[in-house]
Amino acid sequence: MPRVKRGPKRARKRKKILKLASGYVLTKSKLYRSAKESVQKALKYSYRDRRVRKRDFRQLWIIRIGAASRENGLSYSRFVAGLKKAGVALDRKILADLALNDAAAFANLAETAKQAISGSASA
C-alpha cells in the first residue's frame, strides 16, 4: 500500500480545530490533541444545550404566567384551560410577556378565562 502524507489537507484540518478552540485556557487552545477534545466536548454541549434552553424558557414562562394568574384569582392550569375554552390562542411566550409588562391586559385575559370556566360549569 502506498504511503500517504496528506500535506495541506492535514494542515487545514488542524488549523480549523485550533481556530474553533481559540479563547480556551492553556493547552486547550494551543495543542492540537487537547484542542480537538475540548472542541468536540464543546460542540456536544452546545447541541444539547440548544434543546435545554427551550425547556428552560418554557419553564420560566409557565412560572411567570402562574404567578400573574394567581394574582388574578386563578391557578395556572385553570387559567390555561379557561383560555382554551374561550378560544384564545396565545402561546406561553406571549402570555408571559403580557404578565410581566402589561398587567391590565393580563387581568382582562384572566377575566375571560374565569367567564369561560364558569360558563362551561353552568352548562
Q: What is the Cα gyration radius of the chain?
A: 26
Pick 105 or 123 by higher pLDDT. Answer: 105
Q: Is residue 114 part of a domain?
A: yes
Q: Is residue 24 part of a domain?
A: yes
The CATH number covering residue 52 comes to 1.10.1900.20
- Between 3-7, 46-50, 89-93, the lowest mean confidence (pLDDT) is in 3-7
Rounded CA gap, 14 and 36, in Å? 9
pLDDT value of position 4: 86
Count of domains forming the chain: 1
Q: Is residue 2 part of a domain?
A: no
Q: Is residue 29 part of a domain?
A: yes
For 47, counting Cβ atoms within 10 Å of its Cβ (0-12 exposed, 13-18 middle, 19+ buried), the class is exposed
pLDDT value of position 121: 67
For 111, counting Cβ atoms within 10 Å of its Cβ (0-12 exposed, 13-18 middle, 19+ buried), the class is middle
- The residue behind cell 477534545 is 37
Q: Is residue 3 part of a domain?
A: no
**Beta-carbon contacts of residue 101 (< 8 Å; ≥ 6 apart):** none
pLDDT value of position 123: 57
Q: Is residue 47 part of a domain?
A: yes
Residue 122, pLDDT above cutoff 70: no
Tens digit of each residue's pLDDT (9 = 90 or more) over 18-70: 999 999 999 999 999 999 999 999 999 999 999 999 999 999 999 999 999 99
Q: Is residue 56 part of a domain?
A: yes
Q: Is residue 41 part of a domain?
A: yes
Domain span at residue 47 reads 8-122
